[in-house]
Amino acid sequence: MNIDVNRDELPVKDLYLAAFLYSSNLKLLCLRKESDFFWFIFEDKHKAEQLANQFWRKEAEGNIKVYAEALRTLKDRLFAEKGQVRNG
């Protein structure tokens, strides 16, 4: 990983994990491009890592509708960013 992040940020490449973090009210700071993909950058690294561990252990809890909306929002944001890169 060659992107710049500070100590309290967690970069996430996986869209489904990013949607879970976003639906858990973690603040998405930005998307950062690295070669041919984007990183989702979240604040509060400690909390994000705890939630990520729950996600990968299949212990995550939350509202599935909120998760689905978060997934849709992040996809929209990702495709908008990709369009800006191509057109910019």
Q: How confident is the model at residue 1 (pLDDT cuts 50, 70, 90)?
A: low
Q: How far is CA 10 from CA 17, 19, 59, in A?
A: 12, 14, 20
Q: What is the pLDDT of residues 22-32, one digit of tens each?
A: 999 999 999 99
Q: Which residues in 1-88 belong to E strands, given as ranges?
A: 9-12, 28-34, 37-43
Query: What local confidence, expressed as pLDDT, does residue 22 receive?
Result: 99
Q: What is the pLDDT of residues 41-70, one digit of tens each?
A: 999 999 999 999 999 999 999 999 999 999
